[in-house]
Chain A
Amino acid sequence: MTLAPGILFSIGSFHITNTLVTTLIVDAIIIALVLLFRASLALYPNGIQNFLEMLYEYFYDATKEVSDKVEIIYPWVTTFFLFIVISNLLGQFPGFETIRFFAAGSGEEGIPLFRTATSDLNVTLAFAVISVFMCHYYSIKYTGVRGYIGRFISFKMFPIFMFVGLLEFIGEFTKVISLSCRLFGNLFAGETVMGTVSSMFAFGLPLPFMCLELLVAVIQAIVFAMLTMAFMSMMMQKAH
């Protein structure tokens, strides 16, 4: 298993990778859920509506506890969670990565047709950049340009707050790295472990690892969503 996603084919200079295909499948699943929800929408919920309402209320209430800008933050948090958790769980389906695609230069074994979207750094980095960028956008919107700049440059108690500002500035870059690499690392490592264990023992032994991976899949989605929530709520408050 390589760190880079497998290129299935190209449209011009745009590479269609196996993680991009999985991304589209995840999109399709989410849209199908939305359509199912719309079809069964009622004042007295049942089935899928119950599940989606529970999810909505969980993130809405969690956001409400940390910030008063609930309406702004929760759509981001819930969307991150939905996409990441579905993508992670999709990768846990037995045989998901065993379907091979034989592209030019892919060798005799070919490359997997599907690969967990979040085991591609392009995806996790894109999500981390979106998350941190939106934090800064809302920071400027709700605390003003002066408040936003004051977060990083301050002459109070010179040079202590200047140094703190510098740390804050560096911290914004580390946020991107930590968000993207944590998710990518956990999912990629999980898949590698699963692949290795499954290649050694076909039955029995992979089972505990599969359970562990299911747990990791959900936990990592929650971690990403909750960190985004925490970062956004912190950036929307005025710096002291």
Chain B
Amino acid sequence: MDILTNIINLFGLETKLFIAQIVNFAILLYILKKFLYKPIAQTLKERQAKIKQGLQDAENAKQALKTADIQKIEILRNARKDADKMIEITKQSVQSIRQQVMDDSKKQAKEIIESAKKNAEAEYEAASKKIGVMSVDLSKSIVSKILSELFTEEDKNAVLVRAVEKLESSKYGKATN
């Protein structure tokens, strides 16, 4: 017993100090549990959830990108198909318009030629008539000049009347009437 007492004294063991250390540790444990371990656990949990969410979002974005790529390829393929179709339609319509324009031009040219022909014929007729009248007038004046020198007034009139009658019965006379 003395040995034990000696050991206790040698090491300075005291019940009160021993209990004080136990109480001190209990308080420290309580403080750390409440203000350190719990917040750290909470923060780690939140961070883990956020990382998980981030990974999930990244995976979703990857999937969406893949889908968008497929859609893009599909849209491009359709667009190319549509463009080819449109080019074909445009070619056909250009061909048909060209044909139409050519037909119209031919028709128009034919009409112009016809109208020009008609106009030329009318011009020819009018000129023929005018020449006829002029030749009758010229003949009249020539004949009257000759007759005035050779015949009397009465003969002159008779010859003139006859000449006129002949002229009128001739081709030119009919034309002037």
Seen from chain A, the residues whose Cβ lies within 8 Å of a Cβ on chain B are 2-5, 13-15, 17, 20, 23, 27, 30-31, 34, 37-38, 41, 43, 45, 49, 52-53, 56-57, 74-76, 78-79, 82-83, 120-123, 125-127, 129-130
Contact = CB atoms under 8 A, between A and B. Distances in A.
B25 A17 contact: no
The 10 A-B pairs with the shortest beta carbon distances in the complex, nearest first, are A4-B12, A126-B21, A121-B11, A122-B17, A56-B40, A79-B29, A126-B22, A34-B35, A75-B33, A122-B18
B35 to A, nearest CB: 5
Given A5-B12, A75-B33, 10 more contacts: A13-B16, A15-B17, A20-B17, A38-B39, A41-B39, A56-B41, A75-B37, A78-B32, A122-B21, A126-B21
Interface of B: 9-14, 16-22, 24-25, 27-29, 31-33, 35-37, 39-41, 43-44, 46-47, 50
25 contacts: A3-B12, A4-B11, A4-B12, A5-B12, A15-B16, A17-B17, A27-B27, A30-B31, A30-B32, A31-B31, A34-B35, A37-B36, A37-B39, A43-B50, A56-B41, A56-B44, A79-B28, A121-B13, A125-B13, A126-B19, A126-B21, A126-B22, A126-B25, A129-B18, A130-B25
Given A41-B39, A43-B46, A122-B17, A75 B12 contact: no
A43 B28 contact: no
A43 B24 contact: no
A131 B91 CA distance: 95
Contacts of B40: 52-53, 56
A34 B31 contact: yes
A57 B36 CA distance: 13
Given A13-B16, A122-B13, A38 B35 contact: yes
Nearest to A184: B11
B7 to A, nearest CB: 10
A79 B25 contact: yes
Contacts of B17: 5, 15, 17, 20, 120, 122
A57 B22 CA distance: 26
User: Chain B contact residues: over half helix, strand or loop, or mixed?
Assistant: helix
A9 B40 CA distance: 40
A237 B18 CA distance: 30
B14 A79 contact: no
Contacts of A129: 18, 22
A65 to B, nearest CB: 17
Given A34-B36, A43-B50, A127-B21, A122 B44 contact: no
A99 B40 CA distance: 37
A9 to B, nearest CB: 14
Contacts of B46: 43
A121 B10 CA distance: 10
A125 B17 CA distance: 11
B12 A127 contact: no
